[in-house]
Amino acid sequence: MRYIGGKGLLLDFIDRAIAENTQDVRTVMDIFAGSGIVSLHLKECGYNVISNDILYFSYVLSRGTLPFGEKPRFEGLGGIDAIDFLNRLRLEDTSFSQEQLFITNNYSPNAGCERMYFQPKNAIKIDIIRLKIEEWRKQELLSDDEYFYLLASLINAVPFVANITGVYAAYLKYWDIRTYNDIVLTHPDLIKNGTMSDCYNKDYRDILTEINADLVYADPPYNKREYAPNYHILETIARYDYPQIKGVTGLRPTESKSPFCSSKTVYEAFLDLIEKSSARYMAISYNNEGLMSPGALTDMCLNFAIPGTFRLIECPYRRYKNKIPNNRKGLKEQLYLFEKKNNVS
């Protein structure tokens, strides 16, 4: 999944930096998990992983993949391949009414809507799959694991047919060629290696004081782009709560405002992040053009670090843009890594 600040190209960089600069790390907390790609990679590297994100759809992505070592059996459904069943599901096979089809009614062209996020056929399919998953849960035919496994499969499939350039803050005014494809759910690649995983849907300030880990990995927003409005449709599909939407793009109401997305609050946000962590190690992903300057963030980390343990590790990276992630000389991905003073035994 395309994700603002996504770390798909930096996974080896991150795990190598952790492995080379820490000792006895068994459990890592990924407190801004986003698409969940770093959490999955850390699990693959043999760490126990605690994944967290305040956005529900992000929680769903991790909850529906990270704890699994193998596909669910769906015994409540008679052992069927539920993914295959949902892919073959048609509106006429269900008893769902037109009024229930929230995505169709609000994000696909029809008599009452001009928004062009999805072709009608895919909007209908998203709706009936989401409604069927919820129906199965209410009928107690799905375990919690099975419920989130199916939801994550749906969320992961949506971007492949969405009429967007990368995020959902706006839609294209013409139909991109990929929107003509049929949405297809797939079984995710799962990692079975004996590690333990937990997933949470909390504010980072809360989970830092509630859950212990050997290392906290933090990948906060770098700039003023809030995640909630940029992924509002995925959040609505995940929650399917029929929100009161507004505006040209049908934004859902949200109170999710990150202090990392404002130059007025970013310093205090980092200070709060580091102070609240009880982990032995901190690893913070950022870049050298973020709202917090490299000098200021370095000074803050040094203030909390055991002398001699601070490392600023840099890697050239591509700038995120809606249409094209392009190289620009000087842009670097950074990892601020250190052992905290207050965790000295």
Question: Which whole number is the average pLDDT over 164-193?
Answer: 96
Whether residue 264 lies inside any domain: the answer is yes
Name the region of 155 (left: φ>0; alpha: ψ -120 to 50; beta: rest): alpha
**242 and 288 in a common domain:** no
pLDDT at 225: 87
Entry pTM: 0.93
Evaluate whether residue 165 is within a structural domain.
yes
Distance CA 287, CA 4 (A): 13
In a domain, 226, yes or no: no
| Closest by Cα among 278, 296, 275 to 216 | 278
> How many other CB atoms are found less than 10 A from the CB of residue 216?
27
Band the pLDDT of 260: cuts 50, 70, 90.
Answer: very high
Order the strands of the 311-316 sheet from edge to edge. Answer: 197-200, 48-52, 27-30, 215-218, 281-287, 332-339, 311-316
Domain boundary among 239, 255, 271: 255
SS3 sequence of 100-121: HCHHHHHHCCECCECCCCCCHH
CATH number at 61 reads 3.40.50.150
Q: Among 77-91, 100-114, 328-342, which is the least confidently predicted range?
A: 328-342
Q: What is the 3-state secondary structure (H, E, C) of 72-84?
A: CCCHHHCCCCHHH
Query: Does position 329 have pLDDT exceeding 80, yes or no?
Result: no
- Give the up-direction half-sphere exposure of residue 84: CA atoms within 13 A in the CB hemisphere: 6
Rounded to the nearest integer, the mean pLDDT of the chain is 93
**To which residue do tokens 């699994």 refer?**
68
In this structure, are 152 and 140 located in the same domain? yes
- Contact call for residues 230 and 258 (beta carbons, < 8 A): no
The answer to whether residues 96 and 131 touch, using CB atoms and an 8 Å cutoff, is yes
Residues 177, 323 within the same domain: no
Task: Please calculate the CA angle 251-151-68 and round it to the nearest 5 degrees.
Answer: 135
